[in-house]
Structure 1
Amino acid sequence: MQSKFRVLERSNTLRANSLQSHRSSQSALPLDLSSDLGTSQRHARGFRASAANQFSSSKSNPRDRSERGFLETSTIVANNVSHTLPISDLVVSDLVFNDLVFLPLADNSMSEANNLGTLGSSVRSNGFVGGTDSQDYFRFSNTTAGRFNLSLTGMSADADVQLLNSSGAIVASSSRGSTGDESINLASLSIGDYYVRVYQFNGDTNYTLRMSNTFPSNLLPAETSLGTLNGTRVFSNSVGSSDTADVYQFNLAGTANRFNITLSGLSSDADVRLIWDGNSNGRIDTDEVLGRSTAGSQASEWIGTPLNAGNYFVQVYQFSGEANYNLSVSTGDWYNEHLSDAGVIGQARALYWTDGSLSRNDMISMFREVQDQSSIDSTELQDLRKVVNPSTGFSMPDYVRNLSNKVVNGDPANPRSGIGNLSAGSSSNQMERLIGKWFLGSDRPTAISYNRTITHGYRYLQGSLFQNGISFEDVDQNDIGDCYFMAALGAAAFRSPSTIQNMFIDNGDGTFTVRFYRDGVADYLTVDRFVPTDSSGNAVFAGWGGGVNTEANNELWVALAEKAYAQLNESGWIGQDNTNSYNGLTLSTTAVSTNSGGINGGWAGNGLRHITGRNTENRDVSWRDWWSLFITTSNDLDRIISTFNAGRMVTLSTKDSGVESGVVANHVYTMVGYNASTQRFRLYNPWGNTVELTRNQIVNNFEDWDYTTT
């Protein structure tokens, strides 16, 4: 390999840490090396001075050279003295001969870019940009589509960086200003050849360029420097596909017995790590992560640990989506700084410190802690509300926060139930009743018969939540007019069994937390295993398949979903009568023929939205076209078929009257099939049977249909 070098006068201010890309001011060349550099000799690289004490060289460690895999040397002739030197020293070392610095020629354009090879977990190069050499170009290949991380560090003046594609178009850039570190972090970089342009903004500066493709990023640019941390600092920022990681650098002057990081207010899933760069290599090695929090979803993250004096980094990184966040770092005792009541402080510290999250049982314990004086004072209530508030930073499962919020901040169901919302001075008995209502399922729905003449008792239901999978045929409606809800359950079970499975959380104590959706946002409540039965232990409302309540083969999910919906009615947002009941609250001495109380009578579209969280639409099955020359009848059957074939959940509602034998009037069915050969619709009746109907039968007997749009 024929190597040519530029020779520059050495000044006291020049530090050419990476002579492959460092440059200084152009001066007259004291030597003409254009024809005297000689020929390169191909053997193991490692610059050696062939004349003792003629060169001053600060070598990089042997591992750095071997990692680069350099194999070539160059013979340089200066002042009639021949010197054989390995090129690796020009890349990673200061090389000085008689106060001359030898530098490789141009890398000031894409065509002359330094080739860094293939992007991997660690690519590094040092360089220099200044007044007479304002930019450096580097080339690399990305052979696997995925993450891209870049850091530009070690500047003493302002330099910026760009990532370019093979055509020279800017893919991403970083220009923070001053001497701050620069960074680029992308969630996805396509396969191909790319260029990095490092360029001067003002001043002369050395720099270190690092790149990697790891997730999360293993690079440590000090994007935000906090200096010496004492007390609490709070930052609001975001991470996403075009900026996957933010790094905050700080140092501690002394030991922090309780160092805390909280990541809250998340709009999407982001995580956080605490890092100590023990070997100061600007890269996160496996033993340098001191703590991490990966709660998942939009749950808040928290890290708490003692820290000795030293230099540390906090890295916030995207897991999915575009995540806004609030970051708090503190050297004090967070609990004493943010909470006031000793009991709440003690419980929060003990429970949260164990695993960095507050579980359902943790919150129940904390609520019971404040009952010690038979009432809840204003300080205790204020602290409990802080613990539940997402912005405070306590991590807990979504359903736990949702239920806890209903205890400490209130819900319309609380006053309707006679318990009331919690306030300063509330009794310990009121707190216990709220715990029972929301966490233990002890506030059961009133269970009177449809005709309002009988009050049913509750019995413990044996069996399992699911038996032999989840099927629409598990749905079995009985003495309550909630076909709209039961048909929606059947549609969800038919199209998306996982929706039904994920609807329930088994708390392991005979209770289940049940999820519904309000305007697409999850809402929760808890039911226990007690269900209404007749005097023999048979189901009076939704059936459970097995037999009497003591049978081991009973399947609970439909009965518990219906019970939970009856309880949810009291919160006032499902469009019913806002009572905690199946068939209303009022008994009658004589049987009634119609009942609109409780969860009787509703719309299938509401049921689908509440169960699945998906958007729905309602359409007529057929209609009269009064605007044509002749009055004609049109129908929606082809649209029903195509919607069903597209995998949507579909229900059909019959006319109020005038239906044929075998079809129930004013009733909702679940569509579970269509035979294109026979043109028959297969519909499931929530009463427990399936019917097959022709196109004409659908038009003649059904009024409208509901479906999910996704």
Structure 2
Amino acid sequence: MNRTGLCILVASLLFCFAADCLSKDLHEKPLTAEEIKNIRPFAAVVQRNWKSWSQGSDAVSKLDLIAQMASPDYRGEDAAALVALEIYLKKNPSVDLATAAAVDDPKIIDRYYRNVLKLRRVKRVLFANGQPTFELLQQGPVGDCYFFSATGWMAKNRPGDIMNAIRQLDDGRFQVRFANGDEATITPPTDAELAVNDSDSTLQDGLWMSVLEKATGTIQARTFSRSAAIPDPTVAIDTAGIPIASVVERWSGREAKKFPLGRVAHRDLVRNALITMQEKSLLATALLLHNPPAKLAYDHVYAIMGFDPGNDTVTIWNPWGTDFTPNGPSGPENGYERKKGIFTLSFDEFVSFYSFLAIEQR
């Protein structure tokens, strides 16, 4: 395989696991005593659910808990505690009741409280604002940037396609059909699935993103062994190895053309492709694979929102959806000024820093 082919292969098979970086980027304000005063302590909720969670075993593993996230029986505090304990088990092989009830890691307890509050605020309709609202979108704690970035672009530019992709059945289930023919019928996302995967901001826009994510996990589990090994379809979306161009094709129903960036980039080809993308309003995403000489999240997928050939600039959306004001000029050294995740950088910076580009063909 030649160098260009290898670059395309590697870049198309990787995406982000950016939860830790995301938590830093959000700069969440500490919860107040007033906010959590009506929430039961984590230990008490663990104790009342342990018999059900453990299924008679002395200890539970991460996969044991994930397997129960699809159950609608766990709601509110119970679902939030289930998810918080699953996060604890990412660094521990298993846990017994005594250890689980004694967990005092501030990050785990904080996540529990925030999940309870998030679940109390969820807008439990499909489209809370009539149609997808791009400005509310913020990627949640799992690594589905490869899907979230493309879906965010669709929300801003083709919201009707998202609405047409989802149909609620008489029995309450959802039927999802993407433009490329991929489809799945799923049960409504449970509280645990909402807590593990979605941001508070996104859930203020309704359940549509959660439905799409659960359907995507279901679809991927049919052919992708890493997704199939995870016993919950929503959590299954958080797996490495999904070709990011496949999501462009899933949403557009058309082939996605792939361009290697960085040292092996053919700059004229990339520039012309971006010009065509801009002229035809084509869906495109880009992967930043390695840590660049700039303040940008890496192992992360972004949506391409526009290209200005006159100023030679590329406008990009980070699906974290956050704001940022640099302490100095916007650029690689100080970071790029960002509003709702959107920022602009030069064409040369884009090609140099990013690893891979996928553009819908029409």
Aligned mates of 1:659, 1:483 — CA distance in 2: 21
Q: Which residue of 2 aligns with 1:528?
A: 188
* 8 Å Cα contact 2:261-2:354 kept in structure 1: yes
Cα 1:575–1:646 shift into 2, 3 Å: farther
Identity %: 19
Q: Which residue of 1 aligns with 2:151?
A: 489
1:602-613 pair list within 5 angstroms: 602-613=242-253
Aligned mates of 2:133, 2:162 — CA distance in 1: 10
Deviations 1:235-279 (A, max 9, x none): xxxxxxxxxxxxxxxxxxxxxxxxxxxxxxxxxxxxxxxxxxxxx
Structure with the bigger percentage of helix: 2
* 8 Å Cα contact 1:465-1:555 kept in structure 2: yes
- 1:452 maps onto 2:114 in alignment: no
The one-letter amino acid paired with 2:90 is R
Q: TM-score, normalised by structure 1?
A: 0.30
- 1:477 maps onto 2:133 in alignment: no
The one-letter amino acid paired with 1:561 is L
Q: Which residue of 2 aligns with 1:352?
A: none
Q: Which residue of 2 aligns with 1:664?
A: 297
- Structure 1 unaligned runs (5+)? 1-436, 548-552, 586-596, 626-631
Cα 1:578–1:499 shift into 2, 3 Å: farther
Aligned mates of 2:352, 2:89 — CA distance in 1: 30
The one-letter amino acid paired with 1:639 is A
Cα 1:472–1:600 shift into 2, 3 Å: farther
Cα 1:525–1:612 shift into 2, 3 Å: farther
1:502-651 pair list within 5 angstroms: 502-508=164-170, 510-516=172-178, 520-532=180-192, 539-543=195-199, 545=201, 554-573=205-224, 576-581=227-232, 598-600=238-240, 602-624=242-264, 636-651=270-285
Cα 1:655–1:529 shift into 2, 3 Å: closer
The one-letter amino acid paired with 2:169 is N
Aligned mates of 1:658, 1:451 — CA distance in 2: 31
* 8 Å Cα contact 2:303-2:317 kept in structure 1: yes
Offset of 1:524 from its aligned partner? 1.9
1:308-457 pair list within 5 angstroms: 448-449=86-87, 452=90
1:275-286 pair list within 5 angstroms: none
The one-letter amino acid paired with 2:345 is L
- Structure 2 unaligned runs (5+)? 1-69, 74-81, 92-107, 322-340
1:17-56 pair list within 5 angstroms: none
* 8 Å Cα contact 2:138-2:320 kept in structure 1: yes
* 8 Å Cα contact 1:580-1:598 kept in structure 2: no
* 8 Å Cα contact 1:473-1:490 kept in structure 2: no
Structure number with greater CO (CA < 8 Å, separation at least 6) is: 2
- 1:501 maps onto 2:163 in alignment: yes
Deviations 1:378-432 (A, max 9, x none): xxxxxxxxxxxxxxxxxxxxxxxxxxxxxxxxxxxxxxxxxxxxxxxxxxxxxxx
Q: Which residue of 2 aligns with 1:163?
A: none
Aligned mates of 1:563, 1:610 — CA distance in 2: 15
Offset of 1:611 from its aligned partner? 3.5
Cα 1:509–1:545 shift into 2, 3 Å: farther
- 1:464 maps onto 2:125 in alignment: yes
Offset of 1:583 from its aligned partner? 8.4
Offset of 1:479 from its aligned partner? 1.3
Cα 1:474–1:573 shift into 2, 3 Å: farther
Q: Which residue of 2 aligns with 1:686?
A: 319
Offset of 1:610 from its aligned partner? 3.0
Aligned mates of 2:205, 2:276 — CA distance in 1: 36
Cα 1:604–1:580 shift into 2, 3 Å: same
Provide the aligned length of Structure 1 versus Structure 2: 245
Cα 1:674–1:633 shift into 2, 3 Å: closer
The one-letter amino acid paired with 1:686 is P
Cα 1:703–1:513 shift into 2, 3 Å: same
Offset of 1:546 from its aligned partner? 6.8
Aligned mates of 1:449, 1:617 — CA distance in 2: 37
* 8 Å Cα contact 1:515-1:523 kept in structure 2: yes
Structure with the bigger percentage of strand: 1
Aligned mates of 1:516, 1:606 — CA distance in 2: 12
- 1:654 maps onto 2:292 in alignment: no
Aligned mates of 2:219, 2:234 — CA distance in 1: 14
- 1:700 maps onto 2:360 in alignment: no
Cα 1:604–1:471 shift into 2, 3 Å: farther
Aligned mates of 2:285, 2:252 — CA distance in 1: 14
Aligned mates of 1:449, 1:559 — CA distance in 2: 19
* 8 Å Cα contact 1:480-1:541 kept in structure 2: yes
The one-letter amino acid paired with 1:637 is R
1:64-143 pair list within 5 angstroms: none
The one-letter amino acid paired with 2:167 is I
* 8 Å Cα contact 1:577-1:598 kept in structure 2: no
Tell me the secondary structure at the aligned position of residue 175 of structure 2: strand
Aligned mates of 1:684, 1:653 — CA distance in 2: 12
Higher Cα radius of gyration: 1
Q: Which residue of 1 aligns with 2:37?
A: none
* 8 Å Cα contact 1:477-1:687 kept in structure 2: yes
Deviations 1:266-324 (A, max 9, x none): xxxxxxxxxxxxxxxxxxxxxxxxxxxxxxxxxxxxxxxxxxxxxxxxxxxxxxxxxxx
Tell me the secondary structure at the aligned position of residue 210 of structure 2: helix
The one-letter amino acid paired with 1:452 is K
